[in-house]
């Protein structure tokens, strides 16, 4: 855990990618990140801000369209807040808390 | 539809002895299996193990649907198919192998892929659908048709080192019951075509898809013979036997822990397939009208 | 021991294509499989699916050990065995079925149960042991002998609606390495005989033991071809790739969530099998001296 | 959760049995119980006390020897405190906390 980031008012959270999304993020499933605790407009960091932040600061792959379309996660991706569908938690307006686990699952189709 | 039976033969008592003595199954459960019909859509990496264990358990009628033939690159994971069947029908191969293992069951061969014109009609003859297909369009079609036919669906998928499993339309939507959530409740919009990887492109490890296929068989058996305290059996999970929350099981072979159960929102208000304002009907499915056509137009592999 | 190969044939490239394109496996991993030898002890409900998927993946040498013959009550879960093989050897039945599926591999038949006199010697010829047996005495023997032979063990078990899986002696104990925990580290004392239920007594559902068997194959593949960042492959689980903590995977088919990963204590100080003060030696194992005899005396089924 | 029990100073905990042990406890895997927060001698409730309490107050099966021998859980049973082996937590001296999950796993041998 990055305690320095905490002192700066950042939120330590865990972000995980599965179902192939990890390929866009250094081919790494699990990331411990220190998210700025407020967004561009000074409001508390919510999931919409996290998604923008991930695109700008964590994404290494070029295919941004595999992750977001029309300003939000693309169809076929589930967003889980502490293992529950974000639609149970207020969707992209959910305000992040310290140590939250955010999991992005791309649906699979092979069989 | 396929005939019913009220008792087991001596042979069957011996064959299924290890299940019969379990309170979760018992004679009641075994007879339910015997009189049940399950349709396996797709006889590949998921369908082969799922069919194998359903046949072993004595599910009396097993429909097998696939229009494909067997290729060498299938054999590492499609465990019913063998070298001498290369180039031949997956369904015929599967029926032969299942007959060798358990000739007590009836196997129904559907030498085709799921067709939107006949999907609902075909599903009506079965009690349960296993979605073992491998493309998004077919997953929407299986779910839509099963909701219309009033049948629960066990759906799973796998790619590379990961698998996913859900139980849909359980209990089925009917006049008395709003029914469980459907595939469209979870994924209202289909993914952009370019974001979808097939097993051919992404790769797949045999045991990964194998685990998901066997888990599908287990979920199918649970649906075909549900636990009923009032049938003289005390539910071992009584304390937690509130309706099982809508969930998605994730398997990731190289992660620790390897399994994760995700809580889903469940039924979606205004779902075009399963809500009380549903717009997808048997007619619209057949005529491929509305936006449904976009994902279901191509159901050939 | 069984011969080594540095390349794949064109046939093999096609057959294993879906694995070869995965970064977790690749050509390096496929060659490791081809040159590896895995011993499956017990060709029943666990051993059948485990062998099926190891053979599919191209593990070049697969040893199959079982002294039993096939009974009708085995067929619901022992998926390599078929009706026409009733009364015949499980090992012979398995070899025939695996050959039909993948004749590229070598299959070694051991028509016997694991014997404490020959266990270590037999295991030395293999790279990995899969404990697919069905009694406590044999589980201690497999673990003790594998520690002495320096081989990792994938062990699983199942009864009724539940399964358990662990990876033992991984990495193997050697002069340079204290090695991973063993079966005795987790269960230092054997359970009282009257507390042990067999599948015959307690019952077993096919897909339950099937899931555990397929998961064993997956763990075996991970051990035979470990992820190595320095082999040009970037580990997808890098952030969490500290040594995997000692754990036990539990499956409970009727529970929600169905899977649970339990954190174990790991290596036990003074363990008679795997510690630096171990008292179990190849000689003591052969002569069945000390308390070891109590659990290993009876290794016949 | 039994809040009344809380007022009386009992600890609400979840106890689970698997691997056949549930047969000794009403054939029920999961039990929400309110454990007295102190043992017979007024000391904080620990796992040793929980095991005694379960034998006296929750066990319905007659084969007590399938659960305990020589005053502790029999060989072949793992005790997990919040999904970790009790040997990592002080074994039977571990003092229970509110909402702890205690899992008793009997090892299986079938195959
Ligand atoms: Zn719906
Ligand atoms: Zn040890």
pLDDT digits (tens, 9 = 90+) for D11-68: 999 999 999 899 899 988 999 999 999 999 999 999 999 999 999 999 998 889 899 9
Positive or negative: CA dihedral D103, D106, D107, D108: negative
- Closest approach of chain D CAs to the CA of C162, in angstroms? 7
pLDDT in tens, A2-61: 333 465 689 999 999 999 899 899 988 999 999 999 999 999 999 999 999 999 999 998
> Closest-CA residue in chain B for C86?
B101
pLDDT value for D52: 96
Instruction: Please state, for a pLDDT cut of 90, what percent of chain C lies above it.
Output: 78
Inter-chain residue contact B262 with A78, CB threshold 8 Å: yes
Name the 3-class secondary structure at C224: helix
pLDDT in tens, C117-148: 999 999 999 999 999 998 888 999 999 999 99
pLDDT value for C243: 56
Q: What is the mean pLDDT of residues C159-175?
A: 94
Q: In which band, very low, low, confident or very high, does the pLDDT at B242 lie, cut at 50, 70 and 90?
A: very low
pLDDT value for B125: 97
Average pLDDT, chain C: 89
3-class DSSP string for B193-248:
HHHCCCHHHHCECHHHHHHHHHHHHHHHHHHHCCCCHHHCCCCCCHHHCCCCCCEE
Which tokens sit at C160? 């009724």
Q: In which band, very low, low, confident or very high, does the pLDDT at B1 lie, cut at 50, 70 and 90?
A: low
- B231 pLDDT exceeds 90? no
Q: Is C152 in contact with C244 (CB distance < 8 Å)?
A: no
Output D52 or B288, whichever has higher pLDDT: D52
Which tokens sit at C41? 């002890």
The closest CB to that of C191, out of D74, D83, D87, belongs to: D74
Taking the C-alpha atoms of residue B156 and residue B72, their distance in angstroms, rounded to an integer, is 23
Q: What is the mean pLDDT of residues C278-289?
A: 88
pLDDT value for C296: 44
Q: Taking CB atoms and an 8 Å cutoff, what residues of chain C touch A26?
A: 234, 238
The closest CB to that of C19, out of B19, B22, B205, belongs to: B205
Q: In which band, very low, low, confident or very high, does the pLDDT at B293 lie, cut at 50, 70 and 90?
A: very low
Which phi and psi (to 5°) does residue C194 adopt? -75, -10
Q: In which band, very low, low, confident or very high, does the pLDDT at C235 lie, cut at 50, 70 and 90?
A: very low
- C290 pLDDT exceeds 80? no
* Alpha carbon C264 to its chain's center: 19
Q: Is D5 in contact with D13 (CB distance < 8 Å)?
A: no
Instruction: Please state, for a pLDDT cut of 90, what percent of chain B lies above it.
Output: 78
Among residues B123, B118, B137, B126, which one has the least CA distance to residue B60? B126
Q: In which band, very low, low, confident or very high, does the pLDDT at C241 lie, cut at 50, 70 and 90?
A: very low
Q: Is B158 in contact with B204 (CB distance < 8 Å)?
A: yes
Is D31 an interface residue toward B (CB < 8 Å)? Answer: yes
Query: Counting Cβ atoms within 10 Å, is residue C286 exposed (0-12), middle (13-18) or buried (19+)?
Result: middle
Distance C177 CA to ligand 2 centre (A): 14
Inter-chain residue contact C157 with D110, CB threshold 8 Å: yes
In chain B, the largest separation of any two C-alpha atoms, in whole Å, equals 55
- Closest approach of chain B CAs to the CA of D43, in angstroms? 30
Q: Is C151 in contact with C126 (CB distance < 8 Å)?
A: yes
Q: In which band, very low, low, confident or very high, does the pLDDT at C185 lie, cut at 50, 70 and 90?
A: very high
Q: Is B165 in contact with B176 (CB distance < 8 Å)?
A: no
Inter-chain residue contact B18 with C77, CB threshold 8 Å: yes
- Strand B128-131 relative to strand D30-36, pairing: unpaired
- Closest approach of chain C CAs to the CA of D95, in angstroms? 18
- C64 pLDDT exceeds 70? yes
pLDDT in tens, A59-75: 998 889 999 998 899 99
Inter-chain residue contact D30 with B234, CB threshold 8 Å: no
Is A90 an interface residue toward B (CB < 8 Å)? Answer: no
Q: Taking CB atoms and an 8 Å cutoff, what residues of chain D touch C199?
A: 110-111
Which phi and psi (to 5°) does residue B249 adopt? -95, 125
- C210 Cβ contact list (under 8 Å, min separation 6): B49, B53, B214, B217, C45, C49, C77, C79
pLDDT value for C104: 97
The answer, yes or no, to whether A and D have at least 3 beta-carbon pairs within 8 Å is: no
Q: Taking CB atoms and an 8 Å cutoff, what residues of chain C touch B84?
A: 100
Is A105 an interface residue toward B (CB < 8 Å)? Answer: yes
- Closest approach of chain C CAs to the CA of A32, in angstroms? 8
Q: Taking CB atoms and an 8 Å cutoff, what residues of chain C touch B49?
A: 49, 210, 214
- C247 pLDDT exceeds 90? yes
- Closest approach of chain D CAs to the CA of B252, in angstroms? 20
pLDDT value for C230: 41
> Closest-CA residue in chain C for D90?
C265
Q: What is the mean pLDDT of residues B62-76?
A: 98
Q: Which partners does chain C have (≥3 C-beta pairs < 8 Å)? A: A, B, D
From chain B residues 202-241, the ones with a CB under 8 A of any chain D CB are: 234, 236-240
| B187-201, C69-83, C161-175: least confidently modelled range | B187-201
Q: Is D102 in contact with D17 (CB distance < 8 Å)?
A: no
Q: Taking CB atoms and an 8 Å cutoff, what residues of chain C touch A27?
A: 23, 234, 236
Inter-chain residue contact C188 with D75, CB threshold 8 Å: yes
Is C49 an interface residue toward D (CB < 8 Å)? Answer: no
The percent helix, strand, coil of chain A (3-state, each to 5) is 25, 35, 40
Is B265 an interface residue toward A (CB < 8 Å)? Answer: yes
The answer, yes or no, to whether B and D have at least 3 beta-carbon pairs within 8 Å is: yes
Distance C182 CA to ligand 2 centre (A): 4
Q: What is the mean pLDDT of residues B278-282?
A: 95
Query: Counting Cβ atoms within 10 Å, is residue D39 exposed (0-12), middle (13-18) or buried (19+)?
Result: middle
Distance A21 CA to ligand 1 centre (A): 25
pLDDT in tens, D56-99: 999 998 889 899 998 899 999 999 999 999 988 889 999 999 99
* Alpha carbon B265 to its chain's center: 21
pLDDT in tens, B76-86: 999 999 999 99
Taking the C-alpha atoms of residue B123 and residue B127, their distance in angstroms, rounded to an integer, is 8
Taking the C-alpha atoms of residue D88 and residue C18, their distance in angstroms, rounded to an integer, is 42
- Closest approach of chain C CAs to the CA of A19, in angstroms? 12
Is A104 an interface residue toward B (CB < 8 Å)? Answer: no
Mutate to test the interface with C, among A30, A103, A110 (most CBs of C within 10 A): A30
Which tokens sit at B133? 């297909």
Q: In which band, very low, low, confident or very high, does the pLDDT at B202 lie, cut at 50, 70 and 90?
A: confident
Is A111 an interface residue toward B (CB < 8 Å)? Answer: yes
> Closest-CA residue in chain C for B236?
C254
- B51 pLDDT exceeds 60? yes
Taking the C-alpha atoms of residue D33 and residue D15, their distance in angstroms, rounded to an integer, is 7
Which phi and psi (to 5°) does residue C219 adopt? -60, -35
Q: Output the DSSP codes for B32-87.
A: HHHT-EEEEE--STTHHHHHHHHHHHT-SEEEEE---B--GGGTTT-TT--GGGTT
Distance C188 CA to ligand 2 centre (A): 8
Average pLDDT, chain B: 89
Residues in the 5 Å CB sphere of ion ligand 1: B 182, 184-185, 271, 273-274
Structural domains of chain A sorted by starting position, each given as residue range(s) with its CATH number in brackets: 10-106 (3.10.20.30)
The answer, yes or no, to whether D and C have at least 3 beta-carbon pairs within 8 Å is: yes
Radius of gyration in angstroms for the set of CA atoms belonging to chain C, rounded to a whole number = 19
- Closest approach of chain C CAs to the CA of A31, in angstroms? 6
pLDDT value for C289: 53
Which tokens sit at B148? 């219309």
- B178 pLDDT exceeds 70? yes
- C293 pLDDT exceeds 60? no
- D4 pLDDT exceeds 80? no
pLDDT value for B25: 94
| Cα dihedral value C277, C279, C280, C281, nearest 10 | 90
- A96 pLDDT exceeds 90? yes
The closest CB to that of D18, out of C135, C250, C264, belongs to: C250
ipTM above 0.85, yes or no: yes
Q: Taking CB atoms and an 8 Å cutoff, what residues of chain C touch D84?
A: 262-263
pLDDT in tens, B105-133: 999 999 999 999 999 999 999 999 999 99
Mutate to test the interface with D, among C50, C73, C153, C191 (most CBs of D within 10 A): C191
- Strand B61-65 relative to strand B106-110, pairing: parallel
Place of tokens 């062990």: C155
């Amino acid at each position: 855990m990055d305690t320095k980031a905490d002192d700066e008012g950042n939120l330590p959270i865990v972000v995980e990618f599965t179902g192939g999304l990890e390929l866009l993020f250094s081919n790494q499933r699990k990331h411990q990140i220190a998210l700025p605790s407020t967004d561009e407009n000074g409001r508390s960091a919510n999931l919409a801000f996290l998604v923008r932040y991930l695109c700008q600061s964590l994404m290494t792959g070029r295919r941004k369209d595999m992750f977001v379309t029309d300003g939000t996660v693309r169809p076929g991706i589930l967003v889980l807040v502490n293992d529950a569908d974000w639609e149970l938690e207020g969707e992209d307006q959910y305000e992040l808390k310290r140590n939250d686990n955010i999991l992005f699952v791309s649906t699979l189709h092979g069989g | 539809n396929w005939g019913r039976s009220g008792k087991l033969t001596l042979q069957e008592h011996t064959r299924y002895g290890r299940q019969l003595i379990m309170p979760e199954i018992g004679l009641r459960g075994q007879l339910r299996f015997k009189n049940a019909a399950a349709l396996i859509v797709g006889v590949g990496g998921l369908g082969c193990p799922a069919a194998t264990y359903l046949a072993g358990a004595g599910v009396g009628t097993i429909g097998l649907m696939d229009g494909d033939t067997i290729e060498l690159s299938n054999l590492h994971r499609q465990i019913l198919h063998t070298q001498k069947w290369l180039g031949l029908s997956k369904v015929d191969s599967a029926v032969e192998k299942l007959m060798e293992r358990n000739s007590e069951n009836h196997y129904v061969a559907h030498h085709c892929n799921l067709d939107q014109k006949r999907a609902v009609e075909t599903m009506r003859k079965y009690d349960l659908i296993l979605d073992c297909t491998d493309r998004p369009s077919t997953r929407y079609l299986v779910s839509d048709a099963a909701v219309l036919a009033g049948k629960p669906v066990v759906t799973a998928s796998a790619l590379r080192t990961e698998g996913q499993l859900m139980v849909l339309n359980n209990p089925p939507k009917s006049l008395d019951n709003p029914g469980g959530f459907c595939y469209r409740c979870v994924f209202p919009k289909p993914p952009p075509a370019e974001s979808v990887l097939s097993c051919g492109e992404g790769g797949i490890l045999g045991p990964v898809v194998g685990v998901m296929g066997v888990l599908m068989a287990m979920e199918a058996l649970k649906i075909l013979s549900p636990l009923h305290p009032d049938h003289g059996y005390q539910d071992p999970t009584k304390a937690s036997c509130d309706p099982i929350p809508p969930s998605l099981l994730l398997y990731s072979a190289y992660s620790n822990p390897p399994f994760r159960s995700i809580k889903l929102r469940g039924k979606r208000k205004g779902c075009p397939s399963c809500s009380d304002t549903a717009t997808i009907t048997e007619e619209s499915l057949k005529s491929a009208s509305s936006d449904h056509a976009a994902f279901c137009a191509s159901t050939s592999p």
